[in-house]
Every structure is written in C-alpha cells, then in structure tokens.
Amino acid sequence: MTLPLTFEPATPADDVYTVSDITAEVGRAIQRSARSLWVRAEISEYKAYSSGHHYFTLRDARSQMRCVMWKHDARRLTLRPEAGMEVFVLGRASYWEEKGEFRFTVTAMLPSADLGAAHRELERVRALLKADGLLAPERKRPLPRFPETIAVVTSTDGAALRDIITVTRRRWPCARLLVVGAKVQGDGAPATLARALKLVNRLPGVDLCIIGRGGGARDDLAGFNSELVCRALAEVRVPTISAVGHETDVSLSDLVADHRAATPSAAAEAAVPDCQEVMRGLRDLAVRLSHGLRRRTSLAEERLARCSDRSRMALEQLLERRQHQLERLAAQLDALSPLRVLERGYAVAQDGNDRVLRGVEDFRAGLAFRLRLADGRVSARVEQEET
Amino acid sequence: MSKRKVVSEPTLADDLARLETLVRQLEQDDVELDEALALFEEGVKHLRAARERLTAAEARVQQVLEQADGELSISDFNA
C-alpha cells in the first residue's frame, strides 16, 4: 500500500517553514483554546528562584506537566508549596515559544483538603512519634563537648561519609570514627538503618552518633521518615545528630534526633570542637593554673613578712619593758645597798673569810679583821678584849 | 577488643572538666597554701593528660560489622 503524498518533495521552496513559524503557530493554537481552569495534582518538584518566579512540576498517576508561577502571583501565595504536597491550582495552558515547550501558567494555588499520599504517610508517622513524646523538645540531649568516639550510620560509599571524615580529620584529629554501614535509599533502607542504629547501642565507649546521607530527591528521603528508623534513633543511648543533606526539607529523623544538621559536613562541624581552639583553651587554663599558684604563694610571703614584722615589734616592746623594769629594780637595789649606809660613816667588820663580825664575842684578842668603809678597807687587829 | 576498654579511665572531657574546677578553686582567696600546691600538682597532671590526647596524629576511621553469629568486629576502614 502506498500513502498519498501531501508534499511535493521535488519542489520544497514555497512550502518550507522555519522553527519559529511552527512554534508560533502551536503557541497561537494553545493560547486560543486555553481558558483558566482549576487543576488538582501533586507537586513533584518545586523551586522558588531568587528572581521571585516559581517553577514546578504537577503530576498525577499517569502524567506530569511543567508549571510556572510568575513573581506577582507567587507573592500572593498563602502556603509554602513543597514536593509531595497535593494542591489545587488555577491556571491556563501556555506555550514558551523560544523553547518550544508547553507550560501551565499558574495564577493561584490552594492547599488540597486531601494531602498528597507521601505527605499523608509522613503526617501519620509524625503524629505517632509525637503521641509517644519522641518529638518533645525536653527530650533533646546536649551534645558532648569533647567526643572521642563517634558512631556514623550511613552508606559506606557515599559522599556523606567522606565529608564527615574530612571535617573530623581537619577539626578534631583525636577522634575515632566507627562507621556502621547502612542502605540510605531505596527498598530496605529503613530496615538496614534501624539495624545499624541498634548496633550502635552495642558498641562500647561511643560518645555520639551521626546518622545521615548526602542530598537527594524527596522520594529518596523516605528511609529517614520511616517510623522504624525514627524509633530506633530515639532509642540510641548517646546523643544523636541527623544530617539528611536537604536544606529545604526536614525529615522526621531530623525531628527525633537531638540535633539537626543541614548537611553531613555541618553534622561533623557540630559534633566535634576545633582542636586548635581547645588547645588555646588548654593554654589559658595552664596560665591560670600557674598564676593561681603564684598569687597564692606571694600571698603567703606577704603574710609571712607581715608576721615577722609584727613579732619583731612585739619582741622590741618586750625588751624595752624589761629594760625599764631592770632600771627600776636597779634603783631600788641602789637604795638598799650597804654601801649607802657606809657613806654615812658606818663601817663593817669582816674576818678573813668575809664573814661579818656582828657581836663582841666575835672579837677575840689577837684576831685579825678588816673594816670595810665607804671608800675602801682597813686591816685591823683586836689588841685586848674589853670586859 | 574494645570491649575490654577500662571504663574507669578518665576521658578527655573528664580531664578538662577537672582541670577547670581545679583552676577555679585555686583562684579562690581562702585556699590554704598546702591545698593550693596540691591543686596545682593535680592540675598539671590533667593538663598533661589532655595535651597528650589532643596531639593525636589523625582521626582513626574504623568499620563495624556484625558477624553471622551476631558478634561485632571492628577493623580499619579505608575510605
């Protein structure tokens, strides 16, 4: 069978179209037939550019279409659209001639009463975790300041692990990383993640646990939103950091963990201190320690000096007092001295042994004795006893 | 192997925390001289221990594997 020819291949010149002719014609056709309509769909990718324009994809079970929401419409949004959310949008079909692409231009967006399926599951698990108190802020434990052994639950060949190792080696070389491998995406990820977390509890001496993965599309984060993983994470007996590598989306593991980091690198930064800083702190402590002792010993020296000053003064005072006493006694002694009596003209008779001769019977005839006078002694002899 | 790790061995955090306490005590005015000397000596001990730990060459990376019998094995990991 032969097809009827609609073109004359031999004479193309008159009927050749340019690309612009075609796109303009298609564009006109689309715009002519397009009217504003409401569409119910799930958002699968959403990107708000700094220009203010929003670009995203809407999908249902069979198809998808690319959408744009211009700045002046996006400004009026009352919800924060994100992938997985089911919404109602008002818009019309349009055509981007330069690219030859069909776009659905959205002018308004409302949350669907019935959220997207993934979103619903997430909310279900979140509610369960919340009911069990696993999301309570008071459950959050502080991270250890100087962790020595850190368990890392992630894929052994992912960028996440490489980043964590690099940052830890740079900042905190005294750490030991214990890697517990797990599947972080796809089927079976929740089970291996949960098993790895349980295994962490059997490791001795672990100070901290990081669970994470590098950035990925939303569907790939399902493991970190699973109830199994979140409950296992809550049961880890050391403080935990969740780093699922997604700036915009928060996974449920982020909410259950004690600390949330935007990326695995950020998790390592939060986990370990900077060794140089700690060294500086240590030097400060060393200085304070020696200053403390020096201050204390100089205090003792001062006190000692003060003590010796005081005791010298006390001694001097005592000496002075004693001296006065001595002088007083000397004066009294002087008054009582027999020499004073002798000065008045008396004499004392003493025998050769300096014994004082007190009575007549002491003077036997012929006895040699001495008379002691105020200015000296005189030898004498008894010539005759008087009767 | 690490199962036999002595639990009572002070950690870096222990050393640093104790050191901070000792320094603060030493900085009090009412500490006796012999007490001050004892605080200083203990402080130097913790200072040395902490410094030794901090000057480790490079972070060690090890991989934990669960054997078929449920036992854990820890071996060096090459990234």
pLDDT tens digits, residue range A332-343?
A: 777 667 777 778
The rounded distance, in Å, linking the Cα atoms of A28 and A188 is: 50
The rounded distance, in Å, linking the Cα atoms of A236 and A223 is: 17
More confident site: A15 or B35: B35
Helical pair A159-171 and A264-271, crossing angle rounded to 10 deg: 30
What is residue A3's predicted lDDT score, i.e. its pLDDT? Answer: 46
What is residue A97's predicted lDDT score, i.e. its pLDDT? Answer: 84
The rounded distance, in Å, linking the Cα atoms of A61 and A41 is: 9
- pLDDT bucket at A203, cuts 50 / 70 / 90: very high
Residues of A with CB under 8 A from a CB of B: 144-146, 148, 151, 156, 161-162, 165, 168-169, 172-181, 199, 202-205, 275, 278-279, 281-282, 285-286, 288-290, 292-293, 295-297, 300
Cβ-nearest to B64 among A173, A180, A292: A180
Residue range A53-76, pLDDT digits in tens:
999 999 988 899 999 999 999 988
Going by the DSSP 8-state scheme, the letter that residue A42 receives in this structure is E
Tokens 């901070």 — which residue?
B20
Contacts with B36 from chain A: Cβ below 8 Å: 292-293, 296-297
Q: Which residues contact B13 (CB under 8 A, 6 or more apart)?
A: A144, A145, A146, A148
What is residue A231's predicted lDDT score, i.e. its pLDDT? Answer: 96
Dihedral Cα A181, A213, A133, A227, nearest 10 deg: -70
CB contact at 8 A, A357 and A351? yes
Cβ-nearest to A289 among B3, B26, B72: B26
What DSSP string describes chain B? -GGG--TTSPPHHHHHHHHHHHHHHHTSTT--HHHHHHHHHHHHHHHHHHHHHHT-SS-EEEEEEE-TTS-EEEEE---
Contacts with B44 from chain A: Cβ below 8 Å: 289
| The amino acid at A377 | R
What is residue A356's predicted lDDT score, i.e. its pLDDT? Answer: 87
Cβ-nearest to B36 among A177, A285, A293: A293
CB contact (8 A) between residue A168 and residue B59 = yes
Q: Which residues contact A278 (CB under 8 A, 6 or more apart)?
A: A146, B16, B54
| The amino acid at A184 | V
Q: Which residues contact A82 (CB under 8 A, 6 or more apart)?
A: A43, A46, A248, A249
The rounded distance, in Å, linking the Cα atoms of A43 and A49 is: 16
What is residue A67's predicted lDDT score, i.e. its pLDDT? Answer: 95
What is residue A217's predicted lDDT score, i.e. its pLDDT? Answer: 56
Contacts with A156 from chain B: Cβ below 8 Å: 63, 77
Return the residue in A195, A282, A301, A302 with the most chain B beta carbons within 10 A, the one to mutate for interface testing: A282
- pLDDT bucket at A249, cuts 50 / 70 / 90: low
Return the residue in A288, A290, A291, A297 with the most chain B beta carbons within 10 A, the one to mutate for interface testing: A288
CB contact (8 A) between residue B77 and residue A180 = no
Contacts with B62 from chain A: Cβ below 8 Å: 176-179
What is residue A12's predicted lDDT score, i.e. its pLDDT? Answer: 54
* Helix residue ranges per DSSP H, chain A: 19-33, 71-74, 117-131, 159-171, 189-200, 222-225, 227-234, 252-256, 264-271, 275-336, 338-343
What DSSP string describes A200-239? HTTSTT--EEEEE-----GGGGHHHH-HHHHHHHHT-SS-
What is residue B55's predicted lDDT score, i.e. its pLDDT? Answer: 84
Contacts with A145 from chain B: Cβ below 8 Å: 13, 16
Q: Does B4 have pLDDT greater than 60? A: no
CB contact (8 A) between residue A146 and residue B13 = yes
Tokens representing A376 are 């000296």
**What backbone torsions phi and psi does residue A365 show, to the nearest 5 degrees?**
-60, 135
CB contact (8 A) between residue B72 and residue A203 = yes
The shortest C-alpha distance from B67 to chain A (Å) reads: 12
The rounded distance, in Å, linking the Cα atoms of A97 and A336 is: 143
Under DSSP, is residue A192 helix (H, G, I), strand (E, B) or coil?
helix
**What backbone torsions phi and psi does residue B31 show, to the nearest 5 degrees?**
-80, 135
Q: Does A387 have pLDDT greater than 50? A: yes
What is residue A5's predicted lDDT score, i.e. its pLDDT? Answer: 45
What is residue A1's predicted lDDT score, i.e. its pLDDT? Answer: 44
What is residue A306's predicted lDDT score, i.e. its pLDDT? Answer: 84
Residue range B7-64, pLDDT digits in tens:
567 888 899 999 999 999 988 878 888 888 899 889 999 988 888 888 876 778 999 9
Q: What is the arithmetic mean of pLDDT over A99-103? A: 89
What DSSP string describes A318-376? HHHHHHHHHHHHHHHHHHH-HHHHHHTT--EEE-TT--B--SGGG--TT-EEEEEETTE
Instruction: Provide ipTM, 2 decimals.
Output: 0.80
Q: Does A2 have pLDDT greater than 90? A: no
Nearest residue in A to B58, CA atom: A173
Q: Which residues contact B16 (CB under 8 A, 6 or more apart)?
A: A145, A146, A278, A281, A282, B46, B50
Q: What is the arithmetic mean of pLDDT over A103-121? A: 77
Q: Does B6 have pLDDT greater than 60? A: no
Q: What is the arithmetic mean of pLDDT over A105-117? A: 75
Kind of pairing, strands A54-59 and A64-69? antiparallel
